[in-house]
Chains A and B, each alone.
Chain A
Amino acid sequence: MEQKLTKRDLWKLFMRLNTMRITLNYETLQGVGFMRAIAPVLEKTYTDKEELSDAMHRHAQFYNSHVNCDAVILAVTAAMEESTGPDEKEGINSLKTGLMGPLAGLGDSLIKFTWVPIIGSIGASLAFSGSIIGPILMFILYNIVNIGLRYYAIVFGYKKGIGFLNDNQESNLIQRISTMANVVGLMVVGALISTIIKVQTPLEISTGSSVTGEVGENVIAIQEMLDQIMPSVLSLAVTIAVYHVLKKTKGSHAAMIIVIMMLLTIALTYFGIL
């Protein structure tokens, strides 16, 4: 199979991929964007106007996936449009539909739930100490993956074409990377609980004997006691409590929970508990 697209065509595909989400809408989600992105490729593939029109219609249908994974799907689709005969065209859409679900899951677990929390927490801890390096480092690390992955995926996806699918079915690569990203993400989240959330109580218990009247001699700070049992135990307790509330409400009332926590914290600080 001969590949027609030049480096310049792939660059054009990349540029149009970057603006794909602007046309996001409730009817076809990214359908319009996908058609717009792949249109120059179709123009190069089909010389016949009727065929080109059909192909454009084919790609203006419902489509949605993760930003950085759109690149792979676009490129594989481009390769397929070139290599398939006229009677195989329907297969292209089922391929797109088949890829967009799993790849969206991969993109979410790899970037949104793993990479962004990791670099976000590194950046935030630097920023908390007043260093401008924090956001700069986060910007660089985020965009190496964000922009880099998109471009690389276009080149890779086009080169592999349909072979990407066969490779994937054999090794189940998407599922494997997803699982690994999930584990890394969860361990980082576990670490964040103790480093980011700070719940401390100024409460004290006075154990001074009342007989001798030396009240306040043996003051035990509750926080110190808790730290000896387990550091950050209050942070852990709060997080797990919030997690259970969120799970009960299926995660849809996060903003409401934040407001309630604010009011609760104000009340608890007022009474000297926090």
Chain B
Amino acid sequence: MIMTIIVITLIAFILGIDDVSTKMFRRPLLIAPIIGFILGDVQAGLAIGATLEIMWMGIGNVGAYMAPDLITGTIISTSLAIMSTNGSIETAVATAITLAIPTSILAQQLLVLIQTINVSLNSWAKRLADNADVKGTVWLIYPPALLTGAARAVPTFIALYFGAGAIQSAVDALPTFVINGLETAGSIIPAVGIALLMLAMLKKFELWMFLVLGFVLSAYLGLDILPMTLIAIVFAYFYEMITRKTAAGANGANESSKNTGEEEYDL
């Protein structure tokens, strides 16, 4: 078991650095199946990943605002859920959702701390600039990279090493109606992610019409996401064309600069 925990800790370290550099694995659906594979339950990993992916769909760093840390949250909650529920995928998903929220928010505080520590890099960078030392700039990323990796790996190790037993007895002690409720919550809570997306995208009232259109095409006609997207591109093209023509008619320059201002406010 200790070997498995060490492997997951290493993965947390690597994915932690990936999140601030290449950004190839930073979504729950891409992380949870890997954890599931290591713990020998890919199916649970897939189900947890899919649920968390949709739950956190609208979550992301916008501007300087720091979002809950999905990386640490997904790794810890998926591992603990699979380790402490014996085989039942539904219970594992319910446990993972419950754990994902506190872990993501706690881990977020560590990232805030790191960005504060990183302020010291500025004086280093200024010193390099003073000396016109281009070679020296290579080293600027190593201390913060180690720090970021550790900020993901250390909490993961602690949570898995000390938490697994506690979570297991907690899950065993929970009455069935709570587990059932959490399982149902798993398919309702994605509404939060979707509502967050709406909050970011509904900048004007007329844009609600596209939401209605998408809902109708999917709910009544049962269209899949892919044909849906292609239809959406057609509508997007003509909507953009119409709004541009109207704006050009009514002194375009003012109109478009006003719109940009509104967007930034809403974000």
Q: Give me the interface of A with B, judged by CB distance under 8 Å.
A: 18-19, 21-29, 31-33, 35-36, 39-40, 42-43, 49-50, 52-53, 56-57, 60, 64, 67, 101-102, 104-105, 108-109, 112-113, 116-118, 120-125, 127-128, 130-132, 134-135, 138-139, 142-143, 146-147, 172, 175-176, 178-199, 230-232, 235-236, 238-240, 242-243, 246-247, 251, 254-255, 257-259, 261-262, 265-270, 274
Contact = CB atoms under 8 A, between A and B. Distances in A.
Given A24-B20, A135-B49, A243-B199, A184 B121 contact: no
A274 B207 contact: no
Shortest 10 CB-CB distances between A and B: which pairs?
A190-B214, A266-B181, A25-B118, A187-B214, A191-B218, A56-B129, A183-B236, A194-B219, A187-B232, A124-B50
Contacts of B54: 120-121, 124, 192, 196
A18 B145 CA distance: 12
A262 B220 CA distance: 29
23 contacts: A19-B141, A21-B23, A24-B115, A60-B125, A105-B260, A121-B54, A122-B226, A134-B46, A139-B30, A179-B239, A185-B197, A189-B197, A190-B210, A190-B211, A193-B218, A195-B218, A198-B187, A246-B196, A247-B199, A251-B199, A261-B188, A262-B181, A266-B185
A191 B197 CA distance: 13
Interface stretch (B5-13, B132-140, B165-173): B132-140
A183 B191 contact: no
B62 A31 contact: no
B50 A123 contact: yes
Interface residues of B, number: 113
A43 B140 CA distance: 17
B119 A25 contact: yes
A142 B30 CA distance: 10
Contacts of A261: 185, 188-189, 191-192
Nearest to B263: A105
A200 to B, nearest CB: 9
B50 A127 contact: yes
Contact of A135 (B46, B58, B104, B235): B46
A180 B233 CA distance: 7
Given A23-B118, A31-B125, A118 B225 contact: yes
Given A236-B215, A262-B185, A32 B236 contact: no
A259 to B, nearest CB: 6
B21 to A, nearest CB: 5
A183 B207 contact: yes
Contacts of A27: 119, 122
Nearest to A257: B192
A10 to B, nearest CB: 17
Find the residue from A128, A190, A262 having the highest chain B CB count within 10 A.
A190
Nearest to B55: A258
Contact of B121 (A32, A183, A190, A198): A32
Contacts of B191: 193, 197, 235, 238-239, 242, 261
